[in-house]
Amino acid sequence: MEAYVITAPRCSAMVSTWGQVLDDAPGEKERSEHFLTGEINACVDGILGFDPAGGGD
């Protein structure tokens, strides 16, 4: 199985402005990176746990 995950820094939860992801706002940038990392990890967990055929492949 192949899966492609495409994302952008401003596409995560709790991020609504570019100011939250720019280098000139380090606290906000770290916060947005934390949210994005969690969402990507959840996505990968869901992909790895998905088995439509029930065969384990």
Question: What pLDDT score does 55 carry?
Answer: 52
Single out the residue of 13, 48, 44 nearest to residue 31, CA to CA.
13
pTM for this predicted structure: 0.72
Supply the pLDDT for residue 41. 93
Identify the pLDDT of residue 51. 66
Q: Give the pLDDT score at 50.
A: 83
Each residue of 1-57: pLDDT tens digit?
Answer: 788 889 887 778 888 888 888 888 778 888 888 999 999 999 988 988 886 655 555
Q: Determine what percent of the chain falls in helix, strand and coil, rounding each to the nearest 5.
A: 55, 0, 45
